[in-house]
Amino acid sequence: MFAAGEQGDFYRQPGSIVAHPPASLQRGPDEMHGVALNGHPGGLGSPMEHLEINDAKKVRLENHVPEPEPSKVVHIRNVPQDAIENDIVQLGVPFGQMTNMVLAKKKNQALLEMKTQETATKMVDYYAQHPVTIRGRTVIIQYSNHAELKTEQPNAAAENALSSANGLVSTYQQDEPPSVLRVIVENLMAPVTIEVLHKIFSRFGMVQKIVIFSKNNTFQALIQMGSSTEALAAKLVLNDQNIYNGCCTLRIDFSKLNTLNVKFNNEKSRDFTVNRAPGDNPLAYFDPNLAPHLGATLFPAMIPGLEFAQAPILAQTLDGQPNLGIFPAAAQLPAMSMHSLTSPVAPFGQAIMAPQASVNSILLVSNLDDEKITPDALFTLFGVYGDVQRVKIMYNKKDNALIQFTDASQAQQALQNLNGVRLFGRPLKIAFSRHAQVALPKEGADAGLTKIFTNSPLHRFKKPHSKNFQNIFPPSQILHLSNIPQEVPEEKIKAIFEDFGFNVVAIKFFQKEKKMALVQMPTVEDSVIALIKLHNYQLSANYHLRVSFSKSVI
């Protein structure tokens, strides 16, 4: 077995041989050592057949060395530590078959061996023009100094990833995919325009034409890329991803059309190749209200994760799809003209006619247990993330409710933290509402299903710059308790929880501040229900318990 020594050369381990790679084998910045090499002058007399990279001692960095020559082995740097093998091989699928790979998470690097140097060259050249990110980090893709990659021991994760990826490559090689994509946007709860689609897909190459339309009450688009490679790259990365957090899920397939015929440039169709000189600013074609925002603020580096459809879900959205948030928060849009953003979409269905289903201060919460849920329970839970002004449980559909916050940013905070969380045995499904205001019913008409909380003393964010803004966390098994009287012992707190039917796993009082404690519940759902029932519980004449979620560990 080979491992990098303290000075970067190989040392002997039981059953191995000693080798000192010559200077000609040194690699570019951040390249990984401890690999078996073939094809370099001055290398070993016979091929090294083994590679193992298990810990930091087997990886070495060198600086101030020449750029490596073209090779079929591609070196990928700045890889996030939570990346998986599927993330790496997905980068190579648009270019051809892959034969081997190594992922060194601790060093944020990977090596991917393509079947030929030609496909490796296409891959390096493409990503030089169109940088890509893995889980929020832009990766650096260049040639490796290694001419060939061989591993010592089988790696099941790498083999499975390569097998799946090469299967896709084979499918596409048999019938080269067209350059026109058919895009369906599901769960359309925020505006999607030609401008938005152009910005997303242009990360993968030249977007030539876009046509948007409605079919079977569904928002769809046809997008023609500059080449089939660019179209395939966009499809592999963007399929099943959300445009905005929690909504607007992209379903992408290849169109049967070879080219799009765009007769007019308007809000429904656009030909970006017409009257466009090299170097033209694409923002010049965009709505003037939108163009100033098409920069890093609204569109940060994409994509926060590259996933095969069968990969583990990173976070839950309304329909259980990966919530990778191509746009991190639609709440960044309020400075724009919402009319200009929604006008291309509005003709396609009544669901997004005014008032628009844009980001606003009202959330639609569904999949509630209509026998257990109350306006007060929703006020308490959603009040963890913003000051709730009104709650309305639908009279004719009591498993749905509207929740109005002080502003859109608070609503966004609640959606991001509570969407998919289980409450009374059901996962919450949350989206922005089309309503601009929660209407009050006529007196006696809704049996107490609507409640106003405008002047509630339980609002957590009434004071500007309150510390509560710094202590917003998603639901967890750990609850943070505060405002506990000095004379109340640990046993009393535990007994209160047990009186409400909760089993306390652990409890810990703060040593310096006896008015606060941490309580661990068996599950996150138990924690959520406990917060609803015990927040504002009266401990004594002048003390009411304050409960919130914590990121701490007992």
pLDDT at 327 over 70: no
Tell me the mean pLDDT in the region 66-83: 87
pTM above threshold 0.85:
no
**pLDDT for the residue 264:** 87
- Report helix, strand or coil for 495: helix
Q: What is the CATH number of the domain that holds 281?
A: 3.30.70.330
Per-residue pLDDT band for 512 (boundaries 50, 70, 90) equals confident
Give residue 366's domain range: 362-452
The DSSP secondary-structure symbol of 30 reads: T
Query: For residue 75, what pLDDT is reported?
Result: 95
Confidence of residue 274 (pLDDT cuts 50, 70, 90): confident
Question: Which residues lie closer than 8 Å to 463 by C-beta, 6 or more apart?
Answer: none
Q: What are phi and psi of 394, to 5 degrees?
A: -60, 130
- Among 399, 417, 452, which residue terminates a domain? 452
349 pLDDT exceeds 80? no
Note the pLDDT of residue 191.
Answer: 78
Does residue 8 fall inside a structural domain? no
- Domain end among 423, 452, 481: 452
Q: Are residues 373 and 335 in the same domain?
A: no
CA distance linking residue 328 with residue 409, whole number of Å:
12
Same-domain status, 169 and 180: no
- Is 293 found in the same domain as 283? yes
Residues 69 and 132 in one domain: yes
DSSP string, 254-279: E-S-SS------SSSEEETTTT--TT
Q: Given 174, 208, 231, which residue is the final one in a domain?
A: 174
Q: Are residues 258 and 337 in the same domain?
A: yes
**Do 88 and 197 fall within a single domain?**
no
Residue 138 DSSP SS3: strand
Residue 332 in domain: yes
Residue 351: HSE in the Cβ half-sphere, 13 Å Cα cutoff? 15
- For residue 359, the model assigns a pLDDT of 60
User: Quick check: is 353 in a domain?
Assistant: no
Do 413 and 272 share a structural domain? no
302 shares a domain with 388: no
166: Cα within 13 Å, side-chain hemisphere: 15
> Encoding tokens for residue 240?
């099943």
Residues 275 and 329 in one domain: yes
Helix/strand/coil for 334: coil
Q: Which residue has the higher pLDDT, 7 or 271?
A: 271
Looking at per-residue confidence, does 439 or 281 come out higher?
A: 439
Question: What sign does the dihedral 274-275-278-282 (CA atoms) show?
Answer: negative
Rounded to an integer, the average pLDDT of 118-141 is 85
Checking if the pLDDT of 473 tops 60, the result is yes
Return the closest-CA partner of residue 317 out of 425, 242, 408, 412: 242
State pLDDT tens for residues 359-393: 678 999 999 999 999 999 999 999 999 999 999 99
Number of domains forming the structure of the chain:
4
Q: Binning pLDDT at 50, 70 and 90, where does residue 69 land?
A: confident
Do 414 and 333 share a structural domain?
A: no
Confidence of residue 343 (pLDDT cuts 50, 70, 90): very low
Sequence-separated (6 or more) residues with CB below 8 Å from residue 419 = 246, 316, 317, 318, 323, 428, 429, 430
What does pLDDT average to over the chain? Answer: 74
Q: Is residue 30 part of a domain?
A: yes
What CA–CA distance (Å, rounded) separates 257 from 261? 10
* pLDDT of 306 strictly over 70: no
Residue 468 lies in a domain: no
pLDDT for residue 471: 81
Separation of alpha carbons 79 and 87, rounded Å: 10
Q: Which pLDDT score is estimated for 66? A: 58
Note whether residue 435 is domain-resident.
Answer: yes
Tell me, yes or no, whether 56 and 36 share the same domain.
yes
Q: Do residue 30 and residue 154 come from a single domain?
A: yes
Inter-residue contact 124 to 74 (CB < 8 Å): yes
Q: Which helix (H) or strand (E) holds 171?
A: helix 156-174
The total of other beta-carbon atoms located within 10 Å of residue 318's CB is 24
The answer as to whether 106 is a domain residue is yes
